[in-house]
Structure 1
Amino acid sequence: MYKPKLISCLKNYDKQTLVADIMAGIIVGIVALPLAIAFGIASGVSPEKGIITAIVAGFMISVFGGSKVQIGGPTGAFIVIIYGIIEQYGMSGLTIATLMAGVFLVLFGLLHLGTIIKYIPYPIVVGFTSGIAVTIFSTQMKDFFGLTIDKVPSDFIEKWICYFQNFDTIDLWSLGIGVLSVLIIVLLPKISKKIPGSLIAIIATTIVAIVLKQYAGVESIETIGDRFNISSELPGAEVPELSWLTIKGLVSPALTIAILGAIESLLSATVADGVIGDRHNSNNELIGQGLANLVCPLFGGIPATGAIARTMTNINNGGKTPVAGIIHAVVLLLIFLFLMPLAQYIPMACLAGVLVVVSYNMCGIPSFLGILRNPKSDVTVLLVTFFLTIIFDLTIAIEVGIIIACLLFMRRMAETSDVHLVRDIDIEAESDLSAHNDEHLVVPNNVEMYEIDGPYFFGAGNKAEELMSRFNEKPAVRIIRMRHVPFIDSTGIHNLTNIIISSKQQGIDVVLSGVNPKVHDVLEKAHFYDLIGEDHICPHIDVALEKAKELADK
């Protein structure tokens, strides 16, 4: 049943909690400001759209989400895909794709897929996150170095070729602003972790840029105002024109936005749970994320999700309930209404520095290097997802990465099942109902016994067929011991049916041993009694051997 976390949190709400939420919300709002501007510009939209996204989505996710302390807004993960959608479909296409992603997220929550999304393989998450980080880093080189380039190519390789070809146009003043912003963000936490480094970097570099322009005649430092017309007016809601052709073309990127948003928001909520000792509702959180992405684009916003950095800032500054997230949205709204015109003086090189640090933190180098020491299959998934994200796009990377991960998972599952021929050897004759007896099992003359260890599905079924057709000598009876088969699927039933039919055609009787009740029910529903006879399905190996001896003697 859908029930936002805010409702349960307000039941025992008191003044002390309110004060803590207000203080945390103010700080998170200040921290979110430079990130919202930077993410908006990097995504290919105006800076005010980034702030509008943080306001609307931050409010909606806190009100309708399933986490106590989640802070929502634009994040670096969406930069690549947003930029690509705008390039191909324009702003109207991005609005429609975001609305569709919102619908998908609500459906994920209503269908209770919140827990399933958590099981997307870790190498895929690290692969596309690291790929996004490298892509974000590469998009900031023009502004960071102050390069004079009219149009930066969208392709990753072409982009870097263009950078090297135009590196002689570097502006040292812009580079200095970019380096200064990085140093402030990196070094300030060593002095005080409560002071937002990105905000101090923006204030400091903006002052430096104004002073250099006024008193030193430095005109080469590009600012937000040089590139965008800043507006502090709240936009009205606009519903885009929908066409089936556009919707059909945007299904894939919209689904990518939804999956990416779901993964990032649930990951953020899970990390927050570990810190505050609470437990979020993943399905309610997805519904909240979906509603935010349904409303946000109507006001010109871009896709949004839960943001780990801002959520941790909320926790570290005492945020207790979703009220802190609502306060953060109100703070951003006040800044937008009264201070937005001042954003025109912020140097583009400073925002590039902010995103360089964001991309480094996103990259997760220790996690990436750690997976490289794992099995080759994990390394394959990681590298394929990583390079596809960089060279092609995120949609292809996630799709191919999940397919490869599924195929490797199927192979690993197949390897867990084994089929082998049992000879006259001393073995521990376990009762298939878990009693233990030590005795010498003797396979009667003219009888073959095979044992299946593990789930009897596509892998084991094919192995069994191949193994039994390999021997030229044909016995009178085949015993198939299934004491270690926890379940059987339709492929296993199909292979077992083929084995029995093939054996009958060769005049060979088949006896099943140690079939557990769960597998027995499946075989009964598949009408195995009609095929093999109920007396040929034995609960214990001793019964199966007696039956086999009786059939062989006949």
Structure 2
Amino acid sequence: MEKLQLGRFKGYSFEHFRKDLLSGLIVGIVAIPLAMSFAIASGVKPEYGIYTTCIAGIIIALFGGSKYQIGGPTGAFVPILLGIVLAYGYEDLLLAGLMAGILLCLMGLFKLGSFIQFIPRPVTIGFTSGIAVLIFTGQIASFLGLTDVEKHEKFIANMNELVINMPTLNIDNVVVAALCLAIILVTPKVFPKVPGSLAGIIISTIVAVLFFSGQVPTIGSAYGAIPNTLPQFQMPEITWARIERLIGPAFVIAMLGGIESLLSAVVADGMTKTRHNSNKELVGQGIANIVTPLFGGIPATGAIARTATNIKSGATSPMSGVIHGIFVLLVLLLFAPYASHIPLASMAPILMVVAWNMSERHHFMHILKLKSADSLVLVVTFLLTVLTSLTIAVEVGLGLALILFTKQMMDAPAIFKVLPDHSRKNAKVQPYVVNTKHDCPQISIYTMEGPLFFGAAQMFEETILSDIDTGANVLILRMSKVPFMDTTGEAYFSNIVQHFKGVILVTGLQPRLQSAMKKSGLYDEIGTEHFFEHTGQAIDAALRYLDRKKCIGCQHFAFRECTQLSKGVRQ
């Protein structure tokens, strides 16, 4: 690993460092308000978000599998972490994060990184949009300045709290929040290189201090002063009872962290025309999440928006991620006391904008308009994320996607009866040639498409065995489009071989399937001499097994040879 990491700095020069320094500083400036906002929204003190950005940001940059990845706390984690804090407390959150780090390392070491890409897009968009709704609605109380609002794990209960406490609305708070939101939205259009969230916090804080002092809650009044000291090492208490209690939350953190980081790495690949190492990325994320909780930090993952900003700012290596972490640490040490004056009303618009940007609204509406099975998976995953939990949403979403996929595979026409089309020069076999007046009574040819798995195996068997009743004595199976066969498919295929009294010929068998059939014994049972590369070869062989007496007078003329065979002329 060490050689591989050093290879990422091959040919590194002072000019590269200058670009990394600039991009690291820019991303660090962007990361500071986000780190505090994500921490507060997750139910913990703002400094824990800063600690996470420093420690995890540096570790992910050094040990991750993406050259440009920026790691830290993200919006996707907010509802998950808040739920864990409400149910178990901050101390248990640290242990759950550490356990998630171990799980991520194991996923990387066992090379499971590539499997995450198999999660259907409607599922990822569904839960991402659901998380965005939870983040956005979770900031309404802070935006309006409502008091005595109790946080709950469930969406409906939180909405009920908003309605009950609406009479406590603070107009001064709304003014500060609206000002911050306006600055966040306008700044990128007027000053593209200035981070809108940072400008919004600074200006709205100055306005709040000058005109609304003591009238709007601040970080200091809610959480106390942010310490301008290095995070202290603290080993969480590890007991078997706590591990059993937190394995579920840890698994959710690990899965979401893995998905989020690899999605971010894919975005970085697209922007830079590079390729990340998914398994190494998981290991890097795992190490970061093992170390960060030891210093009070919350779970971290790859941040898509900050990674994109890093690339756009000219980053050339992981050094920009390291610099971003060091810069945030220096800001903590030098300016932490001033952060106590930041109004909570200024933090809410930041997260609302983050939620809006991560909502995948365009992709959501596109899939919804398709009115397909994917649309159903999307809606179910989205609603379950909002109304229940991410765990249930992903489990049900994946299960539903699998069921619908299986049904589609079962409904798709996977087997066709075919004959050569002699009206065309190449005389390729086609299904439309077969009809009641043009169908060889002795030779049946079938083209199979798609995997021969549990969902399609029974239909395959029923279709083929129906030819036993018609008196066919030669069966040709064209299997070039069958990629694999599971044990259920193998059992049904074996049943056909045993019940069909004639000769079975197989063409176009793919190497992978051929190897599987040899292991199962089906290959030898059918007979090595009955396997052909091309359909024409199988037809020539099939003609040798004909009962020529039955051919005399036959008017089907399925093959070119039938004209002579019908007259009783020997070939």
Q: Settle same-fold status: TM greater than 0.5.
A: yes
User: Please, what TM-score do these two structures have when normalized by structure 1?
Assistant: 0.90
Summarize deviations over 1:262-318 as a string: whole Å, max 9, x none: 222122222222223332222222211111011001111111011112112222222
CA contact (8 A) 1:417 1:455 kept: no
Deviation at 1:463, TM superposition (A): 1.0
Read off the aligned partner of 1:305 and give its amino acid letter: T
Q: Does 1:409 align with 2:405?
A: yes
Label 1:329 to 1:428 Cα distance change in 2 as closer, same or farther (>3 A). Answer: same
Read off the aligned partner of 1:185 and give its amino acid letter: I
Q: Does 1:495 align with 2:492?
A: yes
Q: Does 1:399 align with 2:395?
A: yes
Deviation at 1:92, TM superposition (A): 2.5
Point out where structure 1 has 5 or more consecutive residues left out of the alignment.
Answer: none
| Residue 330 of structure 1, aligned match among 326, 343, 355 | 326
Q: 1:154 maps to which residue?
A: 153
CA contact (8 A) 1:415 1:459 kept: no
Whole-Å separation in 1 of the counterparts to 2:160 and 2:425:
69
Whole-Å separation in 1 of the counterparts to 2:420 and 2:24:
74
Deviation at 1:456, TM superposition (A): 2.5
| Residues 73-84 of structure 1 aligned to structure 2 (within 5 Å) | 73-84=72-83
Summarize deviations over 1:107-154 as a string: whole Å, max 9, x none: 222222223322322111111111100000111111100112241333
How many residues of Structure 1 are paired with residues of Structure 2 in the alignment? 541
Summarize deviations over 1:170-220 as a string: whole Å, max 9, x none: 111111111111110000001111111111111111111111245xxxx33
Q: 1:387 maps to which residue?
A: 383
Label 1:333 to 1:425 Cα distance change in 2 as closer, same or farther (>3 A). Answer: closer
Summarize deviations over 1:487-538 as a string: whole Å, max 9, x none: 34122211111223334xxxx3241331525244432322235644445555
Read off the aligned partner of 2:196 and give its amino acid letter: G
Q: 1:527 maps to which residue?
A: 521
Q: 2:293 maps to which residue?
A: 297
Label 1:194 to 1:510 Cα distance change in 2 as closer, same or farther (>3 A). Answer: same
Q: 1:128 maps to which residue?
A: 127
| Residue 229 of structure 1, aligned match among 217, 224, 227 | 224
Deviation at 1:13, TM superposition (A): 1.6
Label 1:498 to 1:207 Cα distance change in 2 as closer, same or farther (>3 A). Answer: same
Deviates more, 1:147-156 or 1:203-212: 147-156
Q: Does 1:67 align with 2:60?
A: no
CA contact (8 A) 2:476 2:538 kept: no
2:89 partner SS: helix
Read off the aligned partner of 2:372 and give its amino acid letter: K
Label 1:517 to 1:196 Cα distance change in 2 as closer, same or farther (>3 A). Answer: closer
Q: 1:262 maps to which residue?
A: 258
Whole-Å separation in 1 of the counterparts to 2:90 and 2:73:
16
CA contact (8 A) 2:32 2:328 kept: yes
Deviates more, 1:142-151 or 1:419-428: 419-428
CA contact (8 A) 2:445 2:478 kept: no
Q: 2:8 maps to which residue?
A: 9
Q: 1:22 maps to which residue?
A: 21
Q: 1:466 maps to which residue?
A: 462
Point out where structure 2 has 5 or more consecutive residues left out of the alignment.
Answer: 551-571
CA contact (8 A) 2:172 2:215 kept: yes
Read off the aligned partner of 1:493 and give its amino acid letter: E
Label 1:121 to 1:511 Cα distance change in 2 as closer, same or farther (>3 A). Answer: same
| Residues 303-342 of structure 1 aligned to structure 2 (within 5 Å) | 303-342=299-338
Deviates more, 1:393-402 or 1:529-538: 529-538
What CA RMSD, in Å, does the superposition of the two structures yield over aligned residues?
2.9
CA contact (8 A) 2:420 2:427 kept: no
CA contact (8 A) 2:108 2:282 kept: yes
Read off the aligned partner of 2:217 and give its amino acid letter: E
Whole-Å separation in 2 of the counterparts to 1:58 and 1:102:
14
Whole-Å separation in 2 of the counterparts to 1:150 and 1:374:
40
1:459 partner SS: coil
Whole-Å separation in 2 of the counterparts to 1:536 and 1:61:
57
CA contact (8 A) 1:4 1:65 kept: no
Label 1:530 to 1:356 Cα distance change in 2 as closer, same or farther (>3 A). Answer: closer
Q: Does 1:546 align with 2:571?
A: no
Read off the aligned partner of 1:286 and give its amino acid letter: L
Deviates more, 1:250-259 or 1:344-353: 250-259
Read off the aligned partner of 1:127 and give its amino acid letter: G
Deviation at 1:93, TM superposition (A): 1.9
CA contact (8 A) 1:180 1:205 kept: yes
Deviation at 1:385, TM superposition (A): 1.1
2:401 partner SS: helix
Whole-Å separation in 2 of the counterparts to 1:487 and 1:262:
30
CA contact (8 A) 2:21 2:323 kept: yes
2:477 partner SS: strand
Deviation at 1:3, TM superposition (A): 5.0
Whole-Å separation in 2 of the counterparts to 1:469 and 1:517:
23
Read off the aligned partner of 2:414 and give its amino acid letter: D
Q: 2:87 maps to which residue?
A: 88
1:549 partner SS: coil
1:12 partner SS: coil
Label 1:63 to 1:109 Cα distance change in 2 as closer, same or farther (>3 A). Answer: same
Deviation at 1:404, TM superposition (A): 2.1
CA contact (8 A) 2:55 2:325 kept: yes
Q: Does 1:220 align with 2:219?
A: no
| Residue 507 of structure 2, aligned match among 514, 519, 543 | 514
Deviates more, 1:420-429 or 1:361-370: 420-429
2:216 partner SS: coil
Read off the aligned partner of 2:509 and give its amino acid letter: N
Whole-Å separation in 2 of the counterparts to 1:428 and 1:389:
56
Read off the aligned partner of 1:496 and give its amino acid letter: F
CA contact (8 A) 2:172 2:212 kept: no
Whole-Å separation in 2 of the counterparts to 1:376 and 1:442:
38
Whole-Å separation in 2 of the counterparts to 1:256 and 1:397:
11
Q: 2:554 maps to which residue?
A: none
Label 1:546 to 1:390 Cα distance change in 2 as closer, same or farther (>3 A). Answer: same
Whole-Å separation in 2 of the counterparts to 1:487 and 1:5:
36
User: Please, what TM-score do these two structures have when normalized by structure 2?
Assistant: 0.87
